[in-house]
Chains A and B, each alone.
Chain A
Amino acid sequence: MLRILIIEDDAEASAYLAKGLKELGHLADQAGDGETGLEMALGSTYDVLIVDRMLPRRDGLSVIEELRKAGDQTPVLILSALGQVDDRVKGLKAGGDDYLPKPYAFTELQARIEALSRRPKAGGEVVTTYQVGDLVLDRLAHSCRRGDTDIPLQPREFRLLEYLMQHAGQVVTRTMLLENVWEYHFDPQTNVIDVHISRLRGKIDKDFDRPLLHTIRGAGYTIRDTAD
Chain B
Amino acid sequence: MTRLTRILRTTAFKLSLLYIAIFTGLSGFLLIYISRNTTELMASQVVQTVDAEISGLSEEYVRGGVRAVVESIERRARRPDASIYLLVDFAGNSIVGNISRLPTVVLDEADGDVRRMKYGRVEAGGEVEREALVRIFELRGGFRLLVGRDLGEQLRFSAILSGALRFWLIAVVLMAGATWFFVSRRVMKRIDDIAATSQTIMHGDLSRRLPVAGNGDEFDRLATNLNDMLERIELLMQGMKDVTDNIAHDLKTPLTRMRTRVETVLREGRDQPDYREALEATIEDSDNLIRIFDALLRIARVEAMSPEAGMEPFDLKAVIDEMAELYAPVVEDEDGRLEVTVEEPARVFGNRDLIAQCVVNLVENVLKYGRPEEGGPVILIKAAPEAGRMVLTVSDTGPGISGPDRDRVTGRFVRLDESRTKPGYGLGLSLVRAIARLHGGTLRLQDAAPGLKVSIDLALADEKKTPNGKGVADHGSGNGS
Are A and B bound to each other?
A: yes
* Interface positions of A (Cβ within 8 A of B): 82-86, 88-90, 101, 103, 105, 154-156, 159, 182-192, 195-196, 199, 217-218
By Cβ-Cβ distance, the 6 closest A-B pairs, closest first, are A155-B481, A186-B357, A86-B310, A86-B309, A89-B473, A195-B329
B330, A192: Cβ atoms closer than 8 Å: yes
Partner of A82, one of B290, B297, B367: B297
CA distance A101 to B297 in the complex (A): 11
A218, B481: Cβ atoms closer than 8 Å: no
Main secondary structure of the interface of A (DSSP, over half): loop
B310, A89: Cβ atoms closer than 8 Å: yes
Beta-carbon contacts of B301-330 to A below 8 Å, as 1s and 0s? 110010001100000000000100111011
Partner of A83, one of B297, B309, B351: B297
Partner of B329, one of A155, A189, A199, A218: A199
**Quick check: is B5 within 8 A (CB to CB) of the other chain?**
no
Chain A residues with Cβ under 8 A from B423's Cβ? 190
CA distance A86 to B479 in the complex (A): 23
A218, B283: Cβ atoms closer than 8 Å: yes
**Quick check: is B356 within 8 A (CB to CB) of the other chain?**
yes
**Quick check: is B273 within 8 A (CB to CB) of the other chain?**
no
A186, B284: Cβ atoms closer than 8 Å: no
**Quick check: is B475 within 8 A (CB to CB) of the other chain?**
yes
Partner of B287, one of A85, A159, A218: A218
A85, B329: Cβ atoms closer than 8 Å: no
B325, A85: Cβ atoms closer than 8 Å: no
CA distance A26 to B468 in the complex (A): 43
Given contacts A103-B293, A189-B360, 7 further A-B contacts (CB under 8 A): A89-B473, A155-B481, A184-B322, A186-B354, A187-B295, A191-B330, A196-B329
A84, B283: Cβ atoms closer than 8 Å: no
B478, A182: Cβ atoms closer than 8 Å: yes
Interface residues of B in 63-78 (CB under 8 A from A): none
Chain B residues with Cβ under 8 A from A189's Cβ? 360-361, 364, 428
**CB-based nearest A residue for B435:** A85
Instruction: Using known A-B contacts A83-B294, A192-B326, A218-B287, determine if residue A186 contacts B478 with beta carbons closer than 8 Å.
Output: no
B294, A187: Cβ atoms closer than 8 Å: yes
Instruction: Using known A-B contacts A182-B326, A195-B333, determine if residue A187 contacts B280 with beta carbons closer than 8 Å.
Output: no
